Amino acid sequence: MTSNLEGTEPPVIAEVRDLRVHFGSKRGRVHAVDGVGFQIRDGEMLGLVGETGCGKSVTGRAFLNLIPQPPAIIAGGEVLFRPRGGAACPACAGSGCHACGQTGGETLDLLKLPQDRMRQIRGARIAMIFQDPGKALNPTLTIGVQMAEVFLQHKSDELLQDAGISADDRNLAANALRRIAHQEDRWLDRRLKRFPPLRQAAGRIQQALDARVAAALAETQIANPLRVMRAYPHELSGGMRQRVMIAQALACDPDLIIADEPTTALDVTIQARILELIKTLQERHRTAVLYISHDLSLVRKVCDRVAVMYAGRVAEVGTVSDVFSNPRHPYTQGLLAAVPRAGARRGHLASIPGSVPELVNPTPGCRFADRCSQVMPACTQLDPVLGSVGEGHSVACFLEHPPHAGAAKIEKALTE
Amino acid sequence: MMQPPKTDSTVAMKAGDTLLSVRNLNKHFPIKDGILQKVVGQVRAVDGVSFDIRRGETVGLVGESGCGKTTLSQCVAGLTDPTSGEILFNTGQGSQLGDGDRIDKLPKDRYRTFRRNVQMVFQDNFASLNPRQLVVDIIGRPLKVYREASGSDLTERVVALLEQVGLGRQHLYRYPHQFSGGQRQRISIARALALDPELIILDEPTSALDVSVQAQILNLLGDLQKERQLAYLFVTHDLGVVRHMADRMITMYLGKVVEQGPTETVFQQPAHPYTEALLAAKPDLADDPDKPFALLEGTIPDPARPPLGCRFHTRCPRVTPSCGWEIDDIVRFLEADESLFQSLQGVERRSARDADLIFKDPASAVALQEAMKSSSVPEAMRAATERLTVEGSRLRATFSEVDEVQLTERGPEHFAACKLDHLSR
């Protein structure tokens, strides 16, 4: 299941550093995401698990700059992304340095990127699979038309080439077709489109487009792509809609896919098929996937590494086998014990007492302190930070890292 | 603590006897079409279901969405009237359930006894708690309706109920929106407990909750059952929860029961391929993580036109020639093939298993004939084909007749509706 077969770690493709997203509310500032940090390596599947309201979806959406501001306030942090085959790193000119994680590629801070650059990345380099395909697909457009938008947005030059219009053609007809393919057509272009030879060329563009859409749908094992392309979302079953969403996400062969609970709205049998599909496509394309879920057993099944979030912070990160067989954070332990499983039948499930704390103007200290069975005085005064407990396995808990280990940090916290 | 309410049903009874019996229950919904809203078909949401619930036991009801499990639970709760069939409820009149115990024929006073003894907890606790009422009114309402308590006595009873579900006096005068999902589900449970019922129907009570909250609710339900000898009908699609909670489980597929039996037996030796597939599709934390998913082909067929024979035969990985192959299976096969489906002009049925398929051109008919003989259709379907002849652009196909599948006994209290005697692994 591990992604590094050759022994060399694949490069870090995306990284979240100390991300803080707050929401303004009547009662004060809700610290929904409060200092989250993790790395995603190229071609790996990272699971992000946690309960409702722990900030996992907001973290996922930060990758696509899809957090509405207001009400959200991005209070700090960076979401770094290194596209494959991007421009050279400005610091070392491609030779590999600390700033670019030895990849030599440029590093983008997605939160500070201008809107037009973000549009080029969204859908092409980072794609998203949403939880409810019934809501994420446009009910007024056929599947073919909304799938075509992805290609028109990101692949229009290749479409023009497929239709036999090279980039050097600068005559009236080619310019008109170029505007049509780039979705920038004016009324005159639409009139011109009716006359040959433009009509033929526009037809060729449409054909190339249809072929690409059909191929993308066929890749997600849709039996009859042409029929699905003519259908509206409501005519398809839930599993089919989720396949369309996956086809749309994979259409431009992205480097990173954010899958936000992709199977929660589906039945178990369909869920198994969709997961299998995501897993095989991910392995075939070597795409990195951030898999957001609340279902621990699914994450264990499909992911390589897992980050457990609690109340806006990462409690534990590590490989799936480490975290599930040897959980070190009391919250992870409680969460795993709460899942009904074979063998432990009819007894009492170990439940975590209490409920998730309110995140309005939180006080310093571990967020889990008031539900934790092993709480210590330090837990209510200091913020634990993620510290290593093994190879690639980190935990934010004072049980593993007693407060005196990081004396400087405590002094700072006490003086503030 | 609450005083035991005095009802007819609290007369001496022994645990384990049948509390509720469902016999050959059908619920069909008409499909209406046209200006005159003529009935053009029936969706058989529940089709010939029979089972018993004993006092103090938990029966799990599992299946995919659209299999009729919610409709069945609503029939049992008396919220919808079944099309045909009987639901018998022991209102404490005699030991043996008989025709006089049919809930649609009960006299008014015994019907009230039935209603107070069968309560329901719904999945969506946002929709099932009135947002304009205070908790004290929500939980106190059943007590008021049945004239069990009033005034300060009522408030005390509500407080006792709240304490039983892990809430307290401080929650009396709050509105549902002021609570978290888990707390709202506790309020729903307190309301269901108010009249001290014998059976609670739990319709996906934890599917909207997080794992740690789900564990709290499941523990609460377990404690209450022990304390009060409650019977539960636990409707869910989460097999892990069923395994944890249920004594017996019933698997439904497209309105029919395909398997029922003691939970542990069914989990260890499923006798129906559908149950087997459901169990394999749900990863468990105790499993080997590298075990591959067992995948099920296709989606649930249209319940308005369920497949003949075994309804699962369109998706079954262990399908046999005698599972009920029919003309609609050819149509389903054609739907996956764009060009052949486009050239299909019509189907002339002699019966469900014998029909002419009319194509635009003879070539398509021959192409289908070839496809039907090749490995692109399941082997069992080829073996079940009796006739496959082409005359011009018409293809005549006939499948062999088979009997309906019935639930047969596989072990003590373990029944399954499958042609196969046992599933080899």
pLDDT of residue A92: 67
Last-in-domain residue among B221, B247, B266: B266
Domain span at residue A215 reads 139-251
Tell me which of B282 and B177 has the higher pLDDT.
B177
Tens-place pLDDT, residues A187-238: 777 777 777 777 777 788 888 888 889 988 888 888 788 888 888 998 888 8
Statement to judge: residues B209 and B349 lie in one domain: no
pLDDT of residue A187: 76
Residue B285 pLDDT > 90, yes or no? no
Share of chain B above pLDDT 90, in %: 21
pLDDT of residue B11: 37
Residue B278 pLDDT > 60, yes or no? yes
Statement to judge: residues A319 and A352 lie in one domain: yes
Share of chain A above pLDDT 90, in %: 6
A 239-298: CB under 8 A from B: 239-240, 267-273, 275-276, 294, 296-298
Do the Cβ atoms of A324 and B286 come within 8 Å?
no
Look at the alpha carbons of B221, B163, B76, B64 in this order and tell me if their dihedral is positive or negative: negative
pLDDT of residue B1: 41
Residue B308 pLDDT > 70, yes or no? yes
Tens-place pLDDT, residues B385-425: 888 888 888 888 888 888 788 888 888 889 988 888 777 65
Residue A34 pLDDT > 70, yes or no? yes
- Amino acid sitting at position B54: R
Nearest residue of A to residue B246 by CA position? A346
Q: Which residues from chain B sit within 8 angstroms of residue A350, using beta carbons?
A: 215
Statement to judge: residues B332 and B232 lie in one domain: no
Domain span at residue B375 reads 327-399
pLDDT of residue A219: 84
Pick among B210, B232, B237, B263 to test the A interface (most A CBs inside 10 A):
B210
B280: tokens are 């394999």
Asked if the C-beta of B180 comes within 8 angstroms of chain A's C-beta atoms, the answer is yes
Of the segments B32-46, B195-209, B271-285, B327-341, which one has the largest average pLDDT value?
Answer: B195-209
Q: Tell me what the mean pLDDT of segment A354-379 comes to.
A: 81
Statement to judge: residues A201 and A149 lie in one domain: yes
Do the Cβ atoms of A320 and B181 come within 8 Å?
no
The answer to whether B212 and A351 are in contact (CB under 8 A) is yes
Q: Residue A80 and residue A63: Cα distance in Å, rounded?
A: 8
Asked if the C-beta of B225 comes within 8 angstroms of chain A's C-beta atoms, the answer is no
Statement to judge: residues B360 and B218 lie in one domain: no
Q: Residue A119 and residue B341: Cα distance in Å, rounded?
A: 40
pLDDT of residue B335: 77
Q: Which residues from chain A sit within 8 angstroms of residue B337, using beta carbons?
A: 224
Q: Tell me what the mean pLDDT of segment A340-345 comes to.
A: 66
Do the Cβ atoms of A276 and B181 come within 8 Å?
no
Q: Which residues from chain B sit within 8 angstroms of residue A276, using beta carbons?
A: 293, 295
Indicate the residue of B180, B216, B280 with minimum beta-carbon distance to A351.
B216
Q: What ipTM was reported for this prediction?
A: 0.78
The answer to whether A71 and A24 are in contact (CB under 8 A) is yes
Asked if the C-beta of B295 comes within 8 angstroms of chain A's C-beta atoms, the answer is yes
How far does B110 lie from chain A, in Å, by closest CA? 34
Last-in-domain residue among A229, A251, A273: A251
How far does B362 lie from chain A, in Å, by closest CA? 23
Q: Tell me what the mean pLDDT of segment A61-89 comes to.
A: 82
Residue B283 pLDDT > 60, yes or no? yes
Do the Cβ atoms of B181 and A52 come within 8 Å?
yes
Indicate the residue of B181, B240, B336 with minimum beta-carbon distance to A340.
B240
Q: Whole-angstrom distance between the N-terminal and C-terminal Cα of chain A?
A: 44
Confidence class for position B5, pLDDT limits 50, 70, 90: very low
pLDDT of residue A392: 84
User: CA nearest A281: which of A210, A216, A209, A212?
Assistant: A216
pLDDT of residue A305: 92
Q: Which residues from chain B sit within 8 angstroms of residue A301, using beta carbons?
A: 283, 289, 293
Statement to judge: residues A205 and A272 lie in one domain: no
Residue B288 pLDDT > 80, yes or no? no
pLDDT of residue B187: 92
Residue B61 pLDDT > 90, yes or no? yes
pLDDT of residue A202: 77
Q: Is A285 exposed, middle or buried (0-12, 13-18, 19+ CB in 10 A)?
A: middle
Asked if the C-beta of A230 comes within 8 angstroms of chain B's C-beta atoms, the answer is no
Mean residue pLDDT across chain A: 81
Residue A333 pLDDT > 50, yes or no? yes
Last-in-domain residue among A197, A228, A251: A251
Please report, for the domain that includes residue B78, its CATH number: 3.40.50.300
Q: Which residues from chain B sit within 8 angstroms of residue A336, using beta carbons?
A: 285
Residue B199 pLDDT > 90, yes or no? yes
Q: Which residues from chain B sit within 8 angstroms of residue A352, using beta carbons?
A: 212, 215
Do the Cβ atoms of B299 and A239 come within 8 Å?
yes
Do the Cβ atoms of B219 and A300 come within 8 Å?
no
Tens-place pLDDT, residues A108-131: 888 888 888 888 888 888 999 888
Statement to judge: residues A391 and A288 lie in one domain: yes
pLDDT of residue B387: 83
B 334-363: CB under 8 A from A: 335-338, 341
pLDDT of residue A409: 52
The answer to whether B172 and B163 are in contact (CB under 8 A) is no
Tell me which of A33 and A90 has the higher pLDDT.
A33
Does the residue B288 lie in any domain? no
Asked if the C-beta of A179 comes within 8 angstroms of chain B's C-beta atoms, the answer is no
pLDDT of residue B341: 79
Last-in-domain residue among A190, A217, A251: A251
Tens-place pLDDT, residues B101-110: 888 888 888 8
User: CA nearest A131: which of A11, A14, A264?
Assistant: A264
pLDDT of residue B25: 92
Statement to judge: residues A202 and A263 lie in one domain: no
pLDDT of residue B14: 42
Q: Tell me what the mean pLDDT of segment B192-201 comes to.
A: 92
For residue A166, the 8-state DSSP code is: -
Residue A93 pLDDT > 70, yes or no? no
**Residue A27: strand, helix, or coil:** coil
Do the Cβ atoms of B285 and A324 come within 8 Å?
yes
Does the residue B282 lie in any domain? no
pLDDT of residue A8: 63
Last-in-domain residue among B221, B249, B266: B266
Does the residue B70 lie in any domain? yes
pLDDT of residue A416: 46
Asked if the C-beta of B243 comes within 8 angstroms of chain A's C-beta atoms, the answer is yes
Pick among B285, B295, B332 to test the A interface (most A CBs inside 10 A):
B285
Tell me which of A91 and B315 has the higher pLDDT.
B315
pLDDT of residue B286: 72
In DSSP notation, B14-61 reads -TTSEEEEEEEEEEEEEEEETTTTEEEEEEEEEEEEEEEEETT-EEEE
Statement to judge: residues B216 and B344 lie in one domain: no
Asked if the C-beta of A315 comes within 8 angstroms of chain B's C-beta atoms, the answer is no
Statement to judge: residues A19 and A100 lie in one domain: yes
Asked if the C-beta of A348 comes within 8 angstroms of chain B's C-beta atoms, the answer is yes
Indicate the residue of A237, A269, A345 with minimum beta-carbon distance to B244.
A345
Q: How many distinct structural domains can be found in chain B?
A: 2
Pick among A210, A351, A358 to test the B interface (most B CBs inside 10 A):
A351
Q: Residue B357 and residue B368: Cα distance in Å, rounded?
A: 10
Residue A408 pLDDT > 60, yes or no? no
Q: Which residues from chain B sit within 8 angstroms of residue A51, using beta carbons?
A: 210-213
pLDDT of residue B188: 92
